[in-house]
Every structure is written in structure tokens, then in C-alpha cells.
Structure 1
């Protein structure tokens, strides 16, 4: 504990350095600007029910054709609301959404997706930051405007029952996709699918805008749960999760801007929210479309990591606000920014306020050496503001910051952070302009004790 207190005291006595910091009022103004700019979808006042097109709830009958027919009917009408009444529906294949459409899952709905890969046609997607063609996500849309998924129903991806077995087989295709990224292989030649074992996302929208995903429950995803790729103007709120397979990120935002995430109850097997922006050469080539202008607030956190940026962030991540969230249960890491020398790009202008954690391994972790791989493309991490964070226990290290010697983590402000118990206090290397104000790890020191009479006698 003496070593721990010494490390913290070194930080506290750093001089207060001047770099851009927003006041509470300025911060709220920025948040309001983002939220007010986000457009909710406009859905025509037309309603159809999947029951009218042959869907058979609470039976083994495949209802995919009924869903397809209902969506085609809506498309002819210019869009509208597809109502899925209470019941369990078997779907042997994906739901492909259209513009101007709301998919409404009534209370008591369970969409139970099949696990035959041949039922999921190849579509444009990305896999861990590289654009390619792969099996369709279970719910998918590309180049859409005005799209909503609402209601309190549940989507079950049956990931554990089948897709989880692909995890151990994916590495050859994963490495092949990364070679294609580095070699700028034409997109049309990046064909995966059968024999590749790259699991599909549960819900993915691509090149889409004016999005609402509200109140649904997600269970047992094959891979990432919700993935917005190259999207703009999205609201995700009131969601809940029970999904604990490998790589079951709750929400992944990639090359995506103007997003509100609020009132979400996470319970998933990997990152709760991960902000990404493409991988390596391909990501850097898309630097004009960073992930930016993102607000996350009032969420209940549970999973592997709570809030993450990276590791695929080569086009850059900026202007992100996280507020008023609370974790329950154990998290490996609370706040986690991860890059490596393959990535390049930047992480900047990140504001995190009022988060409460129970037990973590590491509360706050910035690393420029994720997986210890890469060379030649150091990322720039700067202008990070962390305020009002509490944690009951960090079984590893409370605060870890790892910059490059030639590209330091710069302009980092840690204020009002209390970790009641930690195995190790801080591990901070290769930084510039780190300001710490009211960082307490362990017990807060009180008034200095007076010299004891036994000491006076010895003197």
C-alpha cells in the first residue's frame, strides 16, 4: 500500500497544465447539438401483419417467406409498419429490411433464427474492421433511410447452439481478410462465406440513416449483436441483452456519426459499447468518415468491458460523450481504449462523466500496444477527460496508460476518481500533459499525524 500511495502522490503534484477543457455548460451544449441533430425515422402510416402473409407462430413452420412477402407488400406501398404479433416464430434465414419501414415486435414475440449457413446469402458487410462479402446478418439492411426496429419482443440468434463452434475455425479466413485489407484487394474479390467460418452479426445496418432501434431484447447472438456500419443519425434506447457467446459485443459503431445510446441494459459477453472506425490500411484510407458525435448515457453496464474505443479505429474516433452510467457485477475493464502500431488514426475529444463500477480488473486502460502487434502506424491519443468515476475494487491496476515514446498519450485529465481498493494503483508510461485532480486509490489520507512522544524522547 505504501508503494501505491507514492505513485498516486507523484501524479497529484504534477503542475496544472493548460489544454482545452470544456465547462459543464459547454459540454452540455455540445451534447444537445448532437442529440437535436439526430433525425428519427419517418414511417408511413401503413400497417401490415405477418399473420396475413402466412406466418405461423408457436409452430415449427418456417415463417421466413411470410416475412419476405409482408416486407415486399410494404415496399409496394412506399413503406410502413410490419407488426409481428405475440408468439414464437421460426425463421430459416434473414430478415432484410427496406427503407421507410418499422419492424415492430409486440410483447411476447420471440424471433428464433435458424442455423443453416446456406440460408444466409452473401451480402456486403465488414468483419472486424475489413469490408468484405460474407453471410448475411440475421437482420440486415443496406443503403436505407428511415428504418426502425421497435417493441419489447426478443431476437434469438441461436449462437451457442451452432455458430459458437466456428470460433475455433475462423483464423485462416480472418487472416486472409486482413491480408486483403493490407494489399488493397478489390472489394468484389473479397468473397467469404462457405468454408470461411466468419460468423454473421445478429443485426447490422450499412450505409443507412435515420435509424431507431428501441426496446427490443437480444439473446444468444452468433457474433456482434448490433453493428452500425457507415451509418448516420441513429437512436438506440431501451434495449436489453442476454448474450454471452464469443465476441458478443452489445453495440458496435463503425464509420458512424450522430448517435444517441441511452437507457440500455447490457448483459453480454464482450464489450458493451465499442466505437470503431475501420482497420489498418483500409481504415486510414477512409479517414474522411471517422466515427464521431456520439452520446451514451443512463445505461446499466454488465459484460467483459463497459465502454471501449478500438481496436479497429484507423479512420479516427472523436467527439464522444459518455455520462451517468452504472455497472453491476464484475468487468474485466471499465473504460478501455485499445490501438496498436498497425492502426494509425486517432482518438480525441472524449468526455466521460459520472460512471460507477463495482469490481473490475482494470478500471481505466489506454494502450497503444493491443495484442503486442504491428509497426509503422502509431495512433495519436489525445484530449481525454475523465470525471467523477467510482470503483469498489480494481483487482489489477486502477489506471493504466501506455503511449508510444515517439507518440505520447497527450492531454489527459483525470478528475474526481475514487477506487476504494486496488491491487496496483497506476502504471503510466509515455505521456504528455497528464493532469490529475482528486485521484484517490485506497483510503483517503487525512490530517497528518503528530510526532509521537516516544519519537521525541529518542531525539
Structure 2
């Protein structure tokens, strides 16, 4: 095992045990998690039920079910909500499903929604793209300013994007940079119009300003962009969901400006981040500092894809009170635990508690950086009050543990304990930190008693 050259000096400082980090005891952590879960209210759905077949839907793989969905949702809306059942079958849809209040969209086992790729079928809606609010093509399943929303059942939501929307990826850069310029220059959102002639891919499922949300048991595949994006939402339960989504930027779950969240028993298999906790980008994000992403519980998940647990890089309104436990990877992930910010972001990542995680193979097991892509200037982020305990990894092909702060804004108050990496190319690289404690961290073979002089 090779130790990074930055290892020696920081570690000498690490063992000057700090008093400034008043981390929660294990009992206090349990109580905090309990209090978060008690705030989460599952959606209230009226008893009304309608099958998509009753409004003309056909699951034969070729019929266009757009009108059948719109008609069924209109009928339920007039009744104050209810459950829209999609029976077993393959349902093609030319355009988005726009949800209503008090709705359970229930996909029966064997039901698959397959969305079309004609951009004329997707109206412009108020949305967000990588942390900046814009008007763009509607996400395939979309809800705005709603309450009591459920998407349930063992069916599949298939974006059918690999041969269509994905082809926009090489063309998106000019539009991406334009959104960032609009953000930095505070261009009014109603002037941020994309859509025709632009190449920003829509999300598969997106809810904005919604409360009391349940996403349970469904499978998500082949998304054009992020799979499940919950923006400015509260009271979220995501459980039993599975993924087979390998296109570019196919994040599994993106939480942004969202709070009071439970994610459990989710099986990831994604081409990008499995869970990404965000809170807006740069100037616009800092202007929304009253709505950080917070009070998030993640447990009993299976990770696979690019990165497992990510905070950032868009986190300018702040991320706090995140509790992750009892999860593992079922294959390679590039980075296991990944915090990323830079000098454009501002904001903070704090009060993060992670325990009982296991990984097979990673490039880097733990990576905290305040210098993501080396971007920006003038808005240093703060990473502090982090506890990571009881983490095991078989192999890190890069560096086991990386922590990178700024000289003027150090990463501080970090506890790493009971961490084992069986094999690693590099051990630990820790720069620009203060009050970091490492205890029972073993990279490579554990040292035994010193050998005697012969």
C-alpha cells in the first residue's frame, strides 16, 4: 500500500483530540432519526379507483395512451383524487403525465410505461436543471405545487432514452453554460426559456413544491437525465424502488432544497450518483438559504453505479442533518461517500452521520473536497461536523480517504472511526483541515506487535 505524501503531517495533528465538535451520542442520533421520521406524513389518498383501461388505455405496446391518462386524471380530479391503476401491459405514451393532488399512480406488476421522444409532445414547464431554475421540456412524470402524491406498485417507468434523448448529451454544453450565466447574473426565471432549439434533457420523474410524497416499489429505467428529482419538497418516503438506468447523468435520487426524507430498501443500479443531496447552485442557491436540504434518513440500501452517497456539488443553500446507516454496495462504485463543493458554491455541509456501510470495490472510499473541478472564486463552502463510523471496503483502486479543504476555510470537526480498507493503492490524503480525529482506521493489513531485534 502506498501512502500519499500529504499523509504524514496531518495525521500528527489528527490525534490532538478536539473538544469543539459536540457530535451527537449514538442515543442522541437515534432520537434525532426518530424525530425526523415522526414528521414524515404519508399521502392521504381517497378511496376512488379507476383503471386506465376504463378511459380507453391499451397495454399492447403500440397504442398511444396519452389521452387515456389525461382523461383518467381529469375524472379523479373531479372526485378529489384517488388511485389510477395501470394494469399489466406495455403502455406507450406520447408526452408527459402531469399529476394531481391526492393521487396514487399505481403501476401493477408487469405494467411498463414507455415514453415517446418527440419534443413537440412535451410542453415547457417550470423546472430546474443542475441547480438553476428554468423553463424546459416537461419531465415525463411531473408534479408542481401539489400535496399527497404516491407513485406505487411493482411496475416499470421506462424513459426509452438511450437511442433518443441521450444523443443530446454532446450538444448540451452551450445551454448548460447559459443557465449558469443566468444564475450568476440573476436573470428573471420567466426569461430563462429553453426547449426548442436547445438540448437540456428532461428528468424522468420530477416533483416541485410538493408535500407528503410516497414513491414505493416501482422500477425506473433508461431515463433521459436524472431519474427521480424532488425539488423544494417536504415529507418524502422512498422505499423499495429499484433502478436499471445507465445513461449519462442517470442519478437515482436527487433531493434538492428538500427536507424530512426517508429513503430505505432501495436497490440502485445507475450510470451516475445513486443518491445525490443538493441545495441549489451558486447565487440562486445562496438566495434560497432559508430552504436547505435537511433532516434526511437513508437506510438499508444497495448501491451500484458511479457514486453511492453524494452531497453536492450544487449545495449552495446548505445540507444538514443527514443520517445514513446499514447499507452496502452490490458491485463497483467509483466513490462510496462523496462530498463535493467549490469556490462558486458557498453554503455548507454539516451534521452528517454515516455508519455501518460496506463496499466491495471503489476507486476512492471516502472523498470530501471543497475544490470540485477547481471552479469558482469568492464563495468558499464549509464542510464540518461529520461522523463516519463502521465502514468496510474490500478494495480502493485510488485513495482510501481524501479530505480537501481550503487554507482559509478548512474542513473541520470530522470523526472517522472503525474504518477498514482491505487493499488500497493510496492510503490517506488530508489537506487543509482542523480538528479531525482518526480512530481504528486500518488500510491494508493491520499492524501487529513490533518484531523483536534479532
User: What TM-score comes out, normalization by structure 2 length?
Assistant: 0.98
Match of 1:229 in 2: 231
Q: SS of the residue aligned with 2:321?
A: strand
C-alpha separation between the residues in 2 aligned to 1:138 and 1:98?
Answer: 14
Change (3 A) 1:423 1:52: same
Asked if the contact 2:3–2:428 (Cα under 8 Å) also holds between the matched residues in 1, the reply is no
- What does residue 109 of structure 1 align with? 111
State the shift of 1:10 in Å. Answer: 6.6
Q: What is the CA-CA distance between 1:11 and the residue it aligns to?
A: 2.7
Report the counterpart of residue 241 of structure 1 in structure 2. 243
Q: How much does 1:56 deviate?
A: 1.1
Question: TM-score normalized by structure 1?
Answer: 0.97
Cα deviation for residue 59 of structure 1 reads 3.8
- 1:36 Cα deviation (Å)? 1.2
Aligned residues of 1:8 and 1:426 also touching (Cα < 8 A)? no
Structure of larger gyration radius: 1
Secondary structure at 2:63's aligned position in 1?
A: coil
Give per-residue Cα distances to partners, 1:108-158, cap 9 Å, x unaligned.
Answer: 001010011110100010000000100000000000000000000001001
For 1:59 and 1:239, locate their aligned partners in 2 and report how far apart those are by CA, in whole Å. Answer: 23
Q: Verify the 8 A CA contact 1:8 1:441 in the aligned structure 2.
A: no
1:375 corresponds to: 377
Secondary structure of the equivalent of 2:403? strand
Q: Secondary structure at the match of 2:274?
A: strand
- Greater relative contact order: 1 or 2 (C-alpha under 8 angstroms, separation 6 or more)? 2
Q: 1:16 is matched with which residue?
A: 17
| Between 224-233 and 16-25, the greater mean CA deviation after superposition | 16-25
Residue of structure 1 equivalent to 2:317: 315
State the distance in 1 between where 2:360 and 2:3 align: 24
Q: Is the 8 A contact 2:4 2:429 kept in 1?
A: no
Q: Conserved in 2, the CA contact under 8 Å of 1:362 and 1:395?
A: yes
Match of 1:86 in 2: 88
- Compared with structure 1, are the counterparts of its residues 119 and 406 closer, same or farther at alpha carbon in structure 2 (3 Å cutoff)? same
Equivalent-residue separation in structure 1 for 2:161 and 2:269 (angstroms): 15
In the alignment, structure 1 segments of 5+ residues that lack a partner are: 453-459
Match status 1:293 vs 2:304: no
Q: How does 1:292-371 map to 2 (within 5 A)?
A: 292-371=294-373
After superposition, give the CA deviation of every residue in 1:179-205 in whole Å (9 maximum; x if it has no partner): 110011111101110111000000000
Provide closer, same or farther for how the CA distance between residues 3 and 282 of structure 1 changes in structure 2, counting only shifts above 3 A.
Answer: closer
Q: Report the 3-state secondary structure (helix = DSSP H, G, I; strand = E; otherwise coil) of the residue aligned with 1:246.
A: coil
Give, in angstroms, the shift of residue 3 of structure 1.
4.4
| 1:145–1:209 CA contact under 8 A, matched in 2 | yes
Aligned residue among 187, 191, 211 for 1:209: 211
- Residues 319-349 of structure 1 show CA distances to partners (whole Å, capped at 9, x for unaligned) of 0000000102111100000001000000000
Distance 2:259 2:245 in 1: 26
Could you tell me how far apart the structure 2 residues matched to 1:386 and 1:279 are? 26
> Does the 8 A contact of 2:6 with 2:429 survive in 1?
no
**Whole-angstrom distance in 1 between the partners of 2:50 and 2:200:** 35
Question: How much is the aligned-residue C-alpha RMSD, in angstroms?
Answer: 1.3
Q: Is the 8 A contact 2:157 2:220 kept in 1?
A: yes
- 1:21-420 aligned at under 5 Å gives the runs 21-420=23-422
Given that 1:8 and 1:440 are in contact with CA atoms closer than 8 Å, whether structure 2 keeps it comes out as: no
- Distance of 1:3 and 1:430 partners within structure 2: 18
2:6 and 2:274 map into 1 onto residues whose CA distance is 34
Contact 1:334/1:364, CA 8 A, preserved across alignment: yes
Distance change >3 Å, CA 370–CA 3, structure 1 → 2: closer
**3-state SS of paired residue (2:355):** strand
Closer, same or farther: CA 8–356 of 1 in aligned 2, 3 Å: farther
- The CA distance in 1 between the partners of 2:3 and 2:219, in whole Å, is 46
Q: In the TM superposition, what is the alpha-carbon distance from 1:24 to its structure 2 partner?
A: 1.1
Q: How many residues align?
A: 452
Decide whether aligned partners of structure 1 residues 3 and 259 sit closer, same or farther in structure 2, where only a CA change above 3 A counts: closer
C-alpha distance in 1, partners of 2:98/2:309? 29
- Is the Cα–Cα contact under 8 Å of residues 83 and 106 in structure 1 kept in the other structure? yes
SS in structure 1 of the partner of residue 162 of structure 2:
coil
Does the aligned pair in 2 maintain the 1:382–1:409 contact within 8 Å?
Answer: yes
Q: Which runs of 5+ in 2 are unaligned?
A: none
Q: Is the 8 A contact 2:109 2:153 kept in 1?
A: yes
Partners of 1:17 and 1:76 lie apart in 2 by: 61
Q: Which moved more, 1:129-138 or 1:7-16?
A: 7-16
Q: Give per-residue Cα distances to partners, 1:372-401, cap 9 Å, x unaligned.
A: 110000001100000000000111000011
